[in-house]
Amino acid sequence: MRSLDFALEMEMNGKAHYEKLADCVCETALKPVFIDLAADELKHYNTIMAIKMGIPWLMTDSTIMVEFNRLFETMIADTTVAGILLKALEDCHHARKMEAESVRIYEDLVKAETNSVNRQLLFRMAEDERKHYNMMENLYDFAQTPKIFMAWKRFDNLKIL
């Protein structure tokens, strides 16, 4: 049960962190992504509470990846998004670490759970957290792109022999 309590706390911290990120990115195309991530964390919290209380629970599928993929294409064209993300880079890095820890915890909970329905719910939450991690990884890399290209620029003085 202590693992479930820790998972509850972790989900609420994740929700708060994504709400903070949503505030940081103001009115860019990213705001709905962070709001959806916060909603996913709340959904996970409610699922864990149901498991803990022994209440049958049906978790709805997350649609955030479809939305994220669509938005990622528009973000590439919007030069302001990378700059805004660069300002929130430390928060994105923290979110990556948080999601990686969530995956590990849920995988441990799946191994320890004896109820097959609860195992399936925990497994789905681990998969959701893995998707969240991948999203944050992509955003982090996207924000780093200007720095990477600047590093490549220093080789522009090479001449073909």
| Each residue's pLDDT tens digit, 5-20 | 888 899 999 999 999 8
Q: Which residues contact 23 (CB under 8 A, 6 or more apart)?
A: none
What value does the CA radius of gyration of the chain take, rounded to a whole number of Å?
19
Choice between 85 and 137, residue whose per-residue pLDDT is larger: 137
How confident is the model over 111-130, as pLDDT tens digits? Answer: 988 888 888 888 988 999 99
The total number of residues shown for the chain amounts to 161
Residue 153: the pLDDT is 46
Identify the DSSP state of 155.
T
Q: Token pair 């708060």 is at which residue? A: 16
Domain 2-55+65-143 class? mainly alpha
Range 125-147 average pLDDT: 83
DSSP 28: S
Instruction: Provide the pLDDT for residue 76.
Output: 65
Task: Give the number of other Cβ atoms within 10 Å of residue 128's Cβ.
Answer: 25
Could you report the per-residue pLDDT of 36-93, keeping only the tens digit for each? 899 999 999 998 888 888 887 777 777 777 777 777 677 666 667 667 777 777 888 8
| Cβ–Cβ under 8 Å, residues 44 and 103 | no
SS3 at position 91: helix
Query: C-alpha angle 149/155/160, rounded to 5°?
Result: 130
Instruction: Band the pLDDT of 22: cuts 50, 70, 90.
Output: confident
